[in-house]
Structure 1
Amino acid sequence: MRYKQLDQMSFADLEVYSVLPEHPVWSRAAELLDFSFADEICAPLYSTRGPRPYAPSLKLKLHIVQRYYNLSDREMEERVIGDLFIKRFLGLPVSFIGFDHSTIGLDRERMGSALFDACHHHILAQAKQKGLWGDNEDVWLIDSFHTNGHIARLSAYRLIKQAILRVVNHLKRAHPALYRQLGRELDLQPLTQKLPAKANPEDIAASFSRLVVLAYGLLHWFEKEAVRAVFWSWKNRDRQLTSLERQAILFRILTENTLPGDPEDPNDPDRAYRKRPRKERPANQLLSSMDPDARVSKKRSITYRGDKIQVIMSAANDMVLLAEPVAGNETDAHRLQELLKAVQQKHDVKPHSVVADSAYGRGYHRRHLKTEGITFAAPLQAVGDNSTGLYSNEKFTYDSKGEAVTCPAGQVTQKKNYNRHLEGTQYSFPKQVCHTYSLREQCTTSVQGRTVFISDYYNEFQEAKTFNKTEEAKKLFQKRNAIERKNNELKNHNGLGHARTYTRERRRVYVKVVSMVVNLKQLVKQRNPLTLGFVRKRPPCLVLPVLQVQ
């Protein structure tokens, strides 16, 4: 693949760049990192025919600079034109004004998150070759933070209306002939109909029902034989796929938010559909047809509508090894093994220890990391007295060999029932025994007697309880503050706390580029810890090549 060759540096360019002082970040980044790997891994994206494209290595540096300053595409276009430090880092002549803001956005779409992830790991590999991380005695830290997706909280009516409009408007832009046929065969009046200022509940319910009927009628219209013939002959397959995706989103929103009415109800003979009660809606329901990947989650009484970013970093060198956006309502521990395995396979390295908070301390993670020979330090979730003030399970003694539980009064039970969902066994004491117990009121209020749950990973939890009291564990927990600072840098300093785009795929692009930015800053700090500002001293004059006149 041959890329576009920029104009040769003129004497004026050399004179201007020689006067500029060394930039504390970009000048050292150009010395420490080789970005030419992007030209090779991105070559399949371009055709060998037609105009030559700009080199992917040049555009990768452009994306890194953009996220470093947290700029929009239009702001980045202006910055490249007027910032000489950036032009020198990119290797552009002083007079270059070629980048349009659309070029920047289209290149992000073309590369996608997979190639940006590959670029992130290429930079990590270069840092590893320089000895900046990769020690087998290293400690890896893992944590997550929430992002705000700027998703408005919509009612069921507005959510369905939004989904219908996205299907119809896409058809209007991408297939005008099919849109005109839709206007002739389907009545779209419920989309523009407005309720009176003082509408009663019956009018609101009837309006909702008419909107749902229109939505199902729209989906049924796409299945008509005459429409199917036109739709499946659509030449632009990408736009056809987009239409199918939006239809699927509309159908899912309808199933999650509506219920068929009762035609035999004498009080409601005309209501075909009604709202599904909020308690009956799925926990993983769609919040917006614009951003179907966003989910709602809560942390410390704060509600987030967006994603959650899982971060793994090296405690020895503060390098971000991996950052992945996941669903906002996904538990922190769900992908721990998957994320650790991804880093180990890409860089052929294994940590000595992994440190996380109590949300990651699941029993199956503790057992897996133990078999891998990795020390896992995570606090146990607090287990004190019950909220009712009764004895907690800690008061009971479990015999794993005899599979029996002993209560504080010395009573033993082997009566058990396995719970596959909770991954553990429920032991129960006979009610006759509990009724004769003098401290029964402090133990249980159940008429059927006391029950005690024993996890399948009981031994792992007991080992963790003992290990967490050792000096080694205390030293590991002291290192966990580093990832809190790194999360603050990713979220607040580099803009990951507020989503700029819809869909998780696009947000993953930003996550990968920001990961490269924070690692680049860390490389500069480790190589040049004492000179972070400008050195205002004119460098020695460059020896210019002598031109030979032929």
Structure 2
Amino acid sequence: MMGTKERAFARLVNVSREKLVPADHFYRQVERTLDLSFVRECVQPMYASGGRPSIDPVVFFKLQLVMFFEGIRSERQLIRQAADRLSVRWYLGYDLDEPLPDHSSLSKIRTRYGLDVFRWFFDAIVQQCQQAKLVWGKELYLDSTQVNANADLDSLTPRFAVEAREAIQRHLTALFAQENQGDEEEGGESMDAPMSEGSSNTGTCLQPTSLPVVLSQQEQEELETERSMRHDWIVEEGRQQREIHGLYQRSADFQISTTDPDATPMRLKNGGLHLGYHTHYVVDGGKRRIILEALVTPAEVMDNQPMLDLLWHVRFRWHVRPRQITGDTKYGTIENIKAIEDAGMRAYIPLPDWDQQRPPYFGPSKFTYDAVHDRYVCPNGQLLHLSRMEYKAEKVEYRAEAATCNACPLKAQCTPSNHGRQVHRSFHANYLERVRGYQQTLAYQKALKKRKVWVEPLFAEAKDWHGMRRFRLRRLWRVNCEAQVIAAGHNLQQLLKKRGWGRRPFPTDAICASFGLFWMLCSLTFARKISSFADCLSFFKDEEVRFPLC
């Protein structure tokens, strides 16, 4: 008889929710591996001592991890899927009839925390990976990728119009600041006041500890002056410093997107133009490929600009002593190479081909430098003597005589100028020669091959499985939060693999059965060979009787 299933649900009374989730479920392994109770201590100063209880900060970060593991692109979709998934409810600690947080609360919590809390969350997972011996620290690999922004090119507008509107808004805010301050003094300080957008609110645990060093007033002033002149990419959250561009201007200097003001135009490999960002990774050279630092900058920022800040942060934050730094040609600037070599590390970075910048004329590599007499020799054997020193650019100019160049038969291939060919040499050219010497070694070639399969697959995985092909959030500090969660999720995956997740059990029964079959086949083959050998002996014995040996 055919049976039919009626939709009649009885209320669960004596059924334990713990028994409904399998013991070997993925989220059970995540719960055993990562204890997120440390988050409460970090964000405690951001909440009032009284009032209505908020959403547990641990639940907020668990939802961020669920979004990473499930590849969910929307917080609305995240809450909908978490509501009808028993395993996710168990991981969050919510009962079957308990309502989950609203999706809008996640955005408000993110604004309250700011980027510093997400960085602290990422650093806490890296610290656990380091305690589990997953960080090698002898080799560091750097790379970056282009990520589309959640904005369109049609949203670009003149920057001066937006800046004027913001200036008017600041002026109006300043006019009513005194009145608002008086209201707060009468009614007391409001703990529920919304934070300003993009603000990095930090708790007590995030305050940097000052070194026990007493500096004189003059030394303190020099230190403050040096800090003010230097642009720290990590402290500035990847923002561009536009005041130092001088005469050179990019399109982002006079255009801005009204949808995402921090996104800037970028040229893709296929020739298309989009608004986007650059995501920078510093990856450990160990077999687990732990991401030690992640930073998002506008697309107008060159890959080599935040390189040193990322390296020094990784080196001193995680106390690693790398012996080599590997990157592609984009990182091969003289400033970066000099800083790496001065720090006692090897710069395994390909140098740019400056000959391609002067087609169809001879490039700098066609000229031979004479270190004894401090001069250059051109392809025709003529001399280029020292002309002047450019201290601001940190380079020396060598120039040939104008009459010699004009009479040279190779002038059409050398220079179009009638004042003689000139060649520039950096003050730190010896560092470039040292890197060229590395290029002949086997370690250098292995490092470049390893970089291709070490960092680039991490970007491909993040784009294909975790939604980093296009950021879902807007503004620079928010996309940095998104990138921190993706990098932290990757490191957590490696930590789970270390603890045994995803490892197949040892197939003892199958191996025993295979070994028994192999032993039986060997026995049959050996018995067959023995019987053939016995037949052979009997044959020769008969032949010996028939034809006796002399």
The one-letter code matched in structure 2 to 1:305 is L
8 Å Cα contact 2:386-2:396 kept in structure 1:
no
Change (3 A) 1:365 1:11: farther
Separation (CA, whole Å) in 2 of partners of 1:68 and 1:403: 60
1:303: which partner in 2? Answer: 273
The structural deviation recorded for 1:102 is 2.1
Query: Does residue 56 in structure 1 map to residue 57 in structure 2?
Result: yes
2:126: which partner in 1? Answer: 124
2:509: which partner in 1? Answer: none
8 Å Cα contact 1:153-1:287 kept in structure 2:
no
The one-letter code matched in structure 2 to 1:289 is T
Cα distance per residue 1:70-98 (max 9 Å; x no partner): 24222222222211111222233333223
Separation (CA, whole Å) in 2 of partners of 1:338 and 1:505: 18
> Which among 257, 273, 290 is matched to residue 259 of structure 2?
290
> Which among 479, 491, 498 is matched to residue 470 of structure 2?
498
The one-letter code matched in structure 1 to 2:65 is I
Query: Does residue 527 in structure 1 map to residue 529 in structure 2?
Result: no
Change (3 A) 1:319 1:68: same
2:69: which partner in 1? Answer: 68
Separation (CA, whole Å) in 2 of partners of 1:52 and 1:148: 38
1:18: which partner in 2? Answer: 19
1:358: which partner in 2? Answer: 329
Change (3 A) 1:117 1:400: farther
The structural deviation recorded for 1:332 is 0.5
Secondary structure class of the residue paired with 1:333: coil
The structural deviation recorded for 1:342 is 1.3
1:179: which partner in 2? Answer: none
Separation (CA, whole Å) in 1 of partners of 2:31 and 2:42: 20
The one-letter code matched in structure 2 to 1:501 is L
The structural deviation recorded for 1:303 is 2.1
1:146: which partner in 2? Answer: 146
Query: Does residue 329 in structure 1 map to residue 331 in structure 2?
Result: no
Query: Does residue 28 in structure 1 map to residue 29 in structure 2?
Result: yes
Change (3 A) 1:13 1:460: farther
8 Å Cα contact 1:151-1:287 kept in structure 2:
no
Task: Name the % identity.
Answer: 22
The one-letter code matched in structure 1 to 2:266 is S
The structural deviation recorded for 1:160 is 7.9
> Which among 447, 465, 485 is matched to residue 513 of structure 1?
485
Cα distance per residue 1:17-40 (max 9 Å; x no partner): 324324653222222222121111
8 Å Cα contact 1:333-1:359 kept in structure 2:
yes
1:274-423 aligned within 5 A: 283-300=252-269, 301-316=271-286, 317-384=288-355, 388-400=359-371, 402-419=373-390, 422-423=393-394
Change (3 A) 1:115 1:442: same
Change (3 A) 1:23 1:149: farther
Secondary structure class of the residue paired with 2:256: coil
Separation (CA, whole Å) in 1 of partners of 2:422 and 2:478: 48
Change (3 A) 1:131 1:24: farther
8 Å Cα contact 1:13-1:94 kept in structure 2:
no
The one-letter code matched in structure 2 to 1:143 is D
Cα distance per residue 1:129-187 (max 9 Å; x no partner): 11111x343x21111111211433348878888889x87xxxxxxxxxxxxxxxxxxxx
Question: RMSD of the TM alignment (CA)?
Answer: 3.3
8 Å Cα contact 1:24-1:531 kept in structure 2:
no
The one-letter code matched in structure 2 to 1:233 is E
8 Å Cα contact 1:396-1:408 kept in structure 2:
yes
Separation (CA, whole Å) in 2 of partners of 1:67 and 1:58: 14
> Which among 416, 438, 456 is matched to residue 484 of structure 1?
456
Secondary structure class of the residue paired with 2:310: helix
Structure-2-length-normalised TM-score: 0.71
1:440-479 aligned within 5 A: 440-479=411-450
8 Å Cα contact 1:418-1:424 kept in structure 2:
yes
Cα distance per residue 1:456-494 (max 9 Å; x no partner): 331111111121121010111111122110011223321
Change (3 A) 1:294 1:432: same
8 Å Cα contact 1:286-1:293 kept in structure 2:
no
Separation (CA, whole Å) in 1 of partners of 2:386 and 2:486: 55
8 Å Cα contact 1:404-1:412 kept in structure 2:
yes
Separation (CA, whole Å) in 2 of partners of 1:348 and 1:221: 43
Separation (CA, whole Å) in 2 of partners of 1:90 and 1:388: 62
Separation (CA, whole Å) in 2 of partners of 1:280 and 1:372: 33
Q: After the TM superposition, which of the residue ranges 482-491 and 285-294 deviates more from structure 2?
A: 285-294
Secondary structure class of the residue paired with 2:305: helix
Change (3 A) 1:157 1:495: closer
Separation (CA, whole Å) in 2 of partners of 1:229 and 1:478: 60
Change (3 A) 1:25 1:421: farther
8 Å Cα contact 2:115-2:478 kept in structure 1:
yes
Secondary structure class of the residue paired with 2:347: strand
1:201-280 aligned within 5 A: 219=168, 229-230=175-176, 233-234=179-180
The one-letter code matched in structure 1 to 2:89 is K
Secondary structure class of the residue paired with 1:398: strand
Change (3 A) 1:325 1:460: same
The one-letter code matched in structure 2 to 1:132 is L
Secondary structure class of the residue paired with 1:287: strand
Change (3 A) 1:437 1:385: farther
2:190: which partner in 1? Answer: none
Separation (CA, whole Å) in 1 of partners of 2:443 and 2:493: 30
The one-letter code matched in structure 1 to 2:461 is E
The one-letter code matched in structure 1 to 2:93 is G
Separation (CA, whole Å) in 1 of partners of 2:451 and 2:152: 34
Separation (CA, whole Å) in 2 of partners of 1:40 and 1:232: 35
Secondary structure class of the residue paired with 1:147: strand
